[in-house]
Amino acid sequence: MPNDPNLLPSNEKKSRLSNLLSFFNDKNEKMEEGKFMRTSDKVSELIDQSQFISRDLSWLKFNERVLDQAQDSKRNLFDRLKFLAITSSNLDEFFSIRVGSLYNYLDYGKERIDYSGLREVPFRKTLMRALQQYVSSQNQCFKDELLPLFKEHRCRLANMSDLTDKERQKISEYFDRTIYPMLTPMLYDYTHVFPVLLAKVLILGVITQTTGTTSEEDRKLSFVQLPLNLPRFYVIERDQEILFLPIEHIVRAFIKKLYRNVDIVSTSLFRIIRNGDFSLEENDDMEVDFIDEIKQKIKNRRLGRVVKVEVESDVDEDLLSLLKKRWEIDDYNVYRAEGLLDYTCLWQLIRHSEFKDQIPPLHSPVPPLSLGKERITDIFEVIRERDVLLHHPYNNFEPVLQLLEQAAEDPNVLSIKLTIYRLAKNSRITEALLTAAENGKHVAVLFEVKARFDEENNIREAQRLQKAGCFVIYGIGLLKTHTKLLLIVRNEGDKVVRYSHLSSGNYNEDTARLYTDIGLLTTNEEYTHDISEFFNVITGHSLPSDYRNLITAPRQMRERLIEMIRNEAKNAKKGLVSGICIKINSLEDRSVIEALYDASQAGVPIELIVRGICCLRPGRKGLSENIRVRSIVGNFLEHSRIFYFHNQGDPLVYGGSADVMVRSFDRRIESLFILVNEQVRQETIMMLDYNLRDNVNSYELKEDGSYVKCKIKPGEEPFDIHKEFFEVKIEDVNKAILFVKQDSELIEEHAETNNVDDSVDE
């Protein structure tokens, strides 16, 4: 386990900097080349033989698909920079959570076997090598492909040597006035403990020595953290070009002002990522203790063990050796940048007023098909008349916001109940709930304060609601509440009507413009009864009866999905038409994957649309020959979850919040809702059909775990769902169909190829 960052080992307390900077070889990592190759070959063979694809290696393949967008020459420079920035933020979270989780096993001597079949130690090496290759691809993309394009757009990344005397004088004034007061050198020697360095912050490691001396023993080491609340780039606008000068260049140029009367031997820029993966202990105390525990875990995350160090290519090697020893890491954890450290800073360029119109504008949302061009004046009246299926971002999120805002002001509304996972900044959802509470309505909110990296914002917003008189539930024990449900109860004279919204996405008006999601607005009593039951269970001490239209986790979801998969296998074995089509973010649960393998072997055609992680291995002879997997990555983030089972021509179609993951089934409160309205169900089938037809944003997963970009075949027209969904007409919906083989064709093919009887192995 790594050393406490606030404590110096006793044998270091009296050492000089020269000793602190001594290099300690890790003999366990030094292997002869021949032995390394033999081990590498065995690892590759073991991975290839596994029936499952590693979750973490699969995620890395997903981020490669995002990087592919940055490498797409058909996109303009700023669009490509956007995707490169996204890959960088994705990678930060991956190191913090997934690599952090792996180190929870390594540091505490716990056993872990990856889906690839590798134990924790060899898997770490395999994963880290893959990550090194990925970071190298990022650097190559920026340095060789994107940076040369800057001059075409009258901009460039500048060095101090590029500045005029007048510009340098302005920079000097900016440093003195703004940057200098925020900098604090933190010395590390035998009288000063090693400082706590923050994650995701640019840090300069500075080695100094007294002027006039040459002895290495006289050297001192200190750290300077660059302020996070200042722009990464100082912008200089010339008549013919715009210069973006990184803040680290400015600090380096004037760092002598922090170290007077000493010589600066070297300055090395680096950045660290810490383990951010934490779990909560079961606690029977009051909810205030639960919130305190969350807050403490957030603090602990800031002190977590270091899992990644990004350094400049010319980093001082002695400093690097010290950091590796200090944090008990090795070369696998060190990533050398060839351009910028932390490509998320590129958002400043992208959003600069000169270039922000270079990002392709978002298409204006179109009305839901069930509404046509009718203008909504009374949202309650609309939902009473019909079920409304919303498909974001192609349809506006406004009907959901309008429903909540109208309910908050309507004197006939009695109560509002809602689950919240992530909110927008300056959320209209929060404001509507506050207004409702002020107007005397009963407002109950299940606020998931464990939503990763949104914990602090969620706690703050939840406490605002609680102070206004809302009934707030801070999650359910160790389970994360990930379901998305809304229930509004309204007195309408001779009866009380319940209005509900069921969704795959968060109640977040910002992400609703960028994430694809589906939502259903309805007064159907079977839905509203189920949602009422659901809220009674989570807000009180109640055990649910069977829901009519909901499948929930952790209670029954895995079993129900497997049951429907097996039913398709049963139909295939009888020679009946069968088919499964599932669109999700991630596919990882072993039991469901094995059920899909069994269904494939029974002859069920299976189409899977999995944006990110996919641990299922398609197309393997004798295992998964009837399974095809595609991933769609493009201008919108695919976030919808849709489950389709052919069911002998009477399809069962579900939407909802859950992915096919162990955490979704066992550690989260999730829900899937069946689509009972025939027109709504047909709209959802059309969505799946369009996803399978896309030939612009799609990648196909191969049996070896690699992905291949789908190409437009000769004679085909481009079909880009991120454009086509804005143009959908009702006739497009009505003609959509999945698994079009006729029963007679399937029976004949079944007899020729499978030769199985009608019995079913349950």
Which of 586, 721, 391 is CA-nearest to residue 710? Answer: 721
Dist CA 295 CA 144 (whole Å): 43
Structure tokens, 384? 């009473």
End-to-end CA distance of the chain: 47
Element (H, E) at 528: helix 525-539
- Please give the single-letter amino acid code of residue 379: I
Q: Active site residue: 482, 501, 639, 722, which one?
A: 482
* Residue in the structure block whose two tokens are 């090697």: 317
Phi-psi region of 705 (alpha: psi -120 to 50; beta: other; left: phi over 0): left
Structure tokens, 171? 């920079």
Dist CA 690 CA 679 (whole Å): 17
Mind giving me the DSSP string for 289-302? HHHHHHHHHHHHHH
Structure tokens, 232? 């990464």
Dist CA 618 CA 625 (whole Å): 7
Question: Is 482 marked active-site?
Answer: yes
Element (H, E) at 306: strand 306-312
Dist CA 556 CA 731 (whole Å): 37
Strand, helix or coil at 253? helix
306 touches 272 (CB < 8 A): yes
The DSSP bridge partners found for residue 629 are 608
- Please give the single-letter amino acid code of residue 756: V
Dist CA 20 CA 13 (whole Å): 10
CB neighbour burial string for 642-666, b if at least 16 within 10 angstroms, e if fewer: bbbbbbeeebebbbbbbbbbebbbe
288: burial class by Cβ within 10 Å (0-12, 13-18, 19+)? exposed
199 touches 302 (CB < 8 A): yes
- Please give the single-letter amino acid code of residue 658: A
| CA 104 to each of CA 214, 248, 277, 289, 388: distance values in angstroms, whole numbers, following the listed order | 43, 33, 8, 25, 46
CB neighbour burial string for 46-59, b if at least 16 within 10 angstroms, e if fewer: ebeebbbbbbbbbb
Dist CA 22 CA 313 (whole Å): 20
Which of 136, 147, 116 is CA-nearest to residue 51? Answer: 116
Which of 220, 217, 227 is CA-nearest to residue 206? Answer: 220
Residues assigned a catalytic role = 482
